Amino acid sequence: MKIASWNMRGFNKPLKQRHVQGVLKKYNLSVLGLLEVKVNVNLMDRMIDTKFTGMSFLHNFHMCTNSRILVMWDSKDVMLDVLASFIYGRNSVVARRPLWDFLINHGENISLPWILLGDFNCVRYPHEKMGGIPIVPRDMADRRNCINRLELSDVNHVGCYYTWFSLAVSSKLD
């Protein structure tokens, strides 16, 4: 089973939907978590039915007005018993703290294999950012504390090392 996470803004656009279809096929993905989708909730069911036939989905649209997380899986290949969390971290250190606290509290009660994927909006190590303002050690501390407390480790990935790009800044945020 192949599982992936992708920070995809503007999933309402047909071009982006076709791109996701291509990625699902190219990498033979069984599960895909899309972050920052900003999907029009009223069009969601129709889009999944017409563009992603055979896929099941869950989302957090009822919890977040900006439609942040959409998880799709191939219901012919996957019976979603795997414990997976798709993460979208807030943009500031202080706003992310509830995420780390929740993951630690939740994770300490999990005895099954657990995979966390997503956009954490912070790097783990200074070398995971190139350009821009230098990383301050305290900006990485909460994420590293969470990883250490839960005994998490990075898994192999495909694609670019840096997962977020701006004009002069590249970062590994997943």
Q: What is the mean pLDDT of residues 132-156?
A: 88
Give the total number of structural domains in the chain: 2
Q: What is the mean pLDDT of residues 58-67?
A: 70
Check whether residue 97 and residue 61 sit in a common domain.
no
Q: Sort strands 164-165 and 114-119 into parallel, antiparallel or unpaired.
A: unpaired
Give yes or no for residue 154 having a pLDDT over 70: yes
Specify which residues 56 forms β-bridges with.
Answer: 73
Assess contact for 31 and 80: CB atoms under 8 A: yes
- Residue 165, token pair as written in the block: 């790009």
**Residue 22: which pLDDT band, with cuts at 50, 70 and 90?**
very high
Domain range spanning residue 111? 90-174
What's the distance, CA 134 to chain centroid?
24
- What does the mean pLDDT of the chain come to? 85
Better-scored residue on pLDDT, 69 or 81: 69
Give yes or no for residue 20 having a pLDDT over 60: yes
Residue where a domain stops, chosen among 23, 50, 81:
81
Assess contact for 170 and 163: CB atoms under 8 A: no
Give yes or no for residue 82 having a pLDDT over 70: no
Check whether residue 10 and residue 73 sit in a common domain.
yes
Going by C-alpha positions, the residue among 171, 147, 149, 150 that lies closest to residue 161 is: 171
Q: What per-residue confidence (pLDDT) applies to 77?
A: 83
**Residue 149: which pLDDT band, with cuts at 50, 70 and 90?**
very high
Q: What is the pLDDT of residues 93-133, one digit of tens each?
A: 999 999 999 999 999 888 877 888 888 888 989 999 999 88
Q: Sort strands 164-165 and 170-171 into parallel, antiparallel or unpaired.
A: antiparallel
Q: What per-residue confidence (pLDDT) applies to 148?
A: 92
